[in-house]
Structures are given as structure tokens and as C-alpha cells.
């Protein structure tokens, strides 16, 4: 392994486009009001204590507010909320993002989306500073489960939905 060089950024990004992921809106709130961004880098870390992690670009408008406030909520988007995903990842001003959709709060004050499949209201318990992203470890203090509809997915630069498949016969 010694001397192995990291591969080039473009090769990495081209491969990573093939990671399909559910789409979330991560929100927070601070002295300057609510902030949010569309994200796909969200994982479950442990059940006890219930902990998620999310990777947030340090350049995003929500990043510094999450760091300062120490709270965030992760809202798993339904397929029908694709326009929210677009709005929270686009050039919309920070304030106008929340004009679309119906939002409320649970424990921390971070915005919870009425139409989300599930929402996790969290406090940040630790943070890792990456080169371009911060990784927030977030303990879940309230969960809200919404309607049982299909999830919004992102794959190879496009949004889409989930199509359940039949189990394949074993032995191809």
C-alpha cells in the first residue's frame, strides 16, 4: 500500500454520481433565523443512543448556523416534494426557501417539514472538521413520522422515486 496515490477528483466525482441516495432537507435555526439545505449524505450511526450523522458543505449558508446553534433537524423528503429539494439546493435566498412547504417545530426549534416521510430533531453532540465538509454527529431527541408515501431519491444527477422489485430467484 505504501506510495499509493489518491485518485483524481474528477474520477472520484464521476464514480460518486453512481451512489443512489435518499434526499433530505437539513434545517437549523439561529439568531439570524431558520436555515436549510438539501443533502444526501445522511447515515444512521447507532440506535442507542439514537444518533445520525450528516456531512454539510462548509460553504453552505446553514453550516455556520448549525455550528453556532448546535441543533439541526433532518427531514426525509417524499418524492412529491422534489420542488423543495430544488429550492433548498438552488440560488433561492436563505429566507425565501421556507416560503414553500408547511413547517413547524418540535423540541429544538429547527424547522420540521409537514410533508416529510420522517423528521429527526437533533442536538449536535460532536463535529469533525473535514477539508470541505463538516460531519455532524446528531443525537435524536424527537422523531416525527409523516405520511407513508414514496421517498425522493437522487442518482446520477437526477431526481427520481423508488420502485419496489420482486425478489429475484436465487441462482442466476
Residues 6-65 that bind a copy of itself (CB under 8 A): 6-7, 9, 11-16, 18-22, 24, 41-51, 53, 55
Compute the least distance from the CB of residue 95 to a copy of itself, in Å: 18
Q: How many residues does the chain have?
A: 172
Task: Give the list of residues 6+ apart from residue 137 with CB closer than 8 angstroms, or none.
Answer: 45, 51, 52, 53, 124, 125, 126, 127, 128
Question: According to CB under 8 A, which one of 33, 86, 104, 114 is a site residue for a copy of itself?
Answer: 86
Query: Who's near 51: CB < 8 A, 6+ residues apart?
Result: 44, 45, 125, 137, 138, 139, 140
Which 3 state secondary structure label does DSSP give 93?
Answer: coil
Among 27-35, 59-67, 123-131, the segment contacting a copy of itself (CB under 8 A): 123-131
Q: Which of residues 64-83 bind a copy of itself (CB under 8 A)?
A: 70-71, 76, 79-80, 82-83
Using rule CB under 8 A, residue 107 touches a copy of itself: yes
Would you say 124 and 42 are in contact if contact means Cβ atoms under 8 Å apart?
no
H or E segment to which residue 64 belongs: helix 63-69
Find the binding residues for a copy of itself in span 87-106 (CB under 8 A): none
Least Å from the CB of residue 32 to a copy of itself: 19
In the complex with a copy of itself, the residue whose CB is nearer, 33 or 49, is: 49
Amino acid at each position: 500500500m505504501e506510495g499509493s496515490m489518491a485518485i483524481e477528483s474528477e474520477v472520484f466525482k464521476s464514480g460518486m454520481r453512481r451512489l443512489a441516495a435518499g434526499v433530505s432537507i437539513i434545517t437549523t435555526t439561529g439568531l439570524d433565523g431558520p436555515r436549510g439545505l438539501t443533502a444526501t449524505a445522511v447515515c444512521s450511526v447507532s440506535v442507542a443512543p439514537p444518533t445520525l450523522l450528516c456531512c454539510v458543505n462548509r460553504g453552505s449558508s446553514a453550516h455556520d448556523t448549525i455550528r453556532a446553534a448546535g441543533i439541526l433537524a433532518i427531514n426525509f423528503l417524499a418524492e412529491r416534494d422534489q420542488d423543495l429539494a430544488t429550492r433548498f439546493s438552488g440560488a433561492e435566498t436563505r429566507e425565501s426557501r421556507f416560503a414553500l412547504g408547511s413547517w413547524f417545530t418540535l423540541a429544538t426549534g429547527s424547522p420540521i417539514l409537514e410533508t416529510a416521510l420522517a423528521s429527526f430533531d437533533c442536538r449536535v453532540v460532536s463535529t469533525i472538521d473535514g477539508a470541505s465538509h463538516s460531519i455532524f454527529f446528531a443525537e435524536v431527541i424527537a422523531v416525527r413520522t409523516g405520511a407513508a408515501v414514496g421517498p425522493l431519491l437522487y442518482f446520477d444527477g437526477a431526481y427520481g422515486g423508488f420502485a419496489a422489485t420482486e425478489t429475484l430467484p436465487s441462482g442466476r
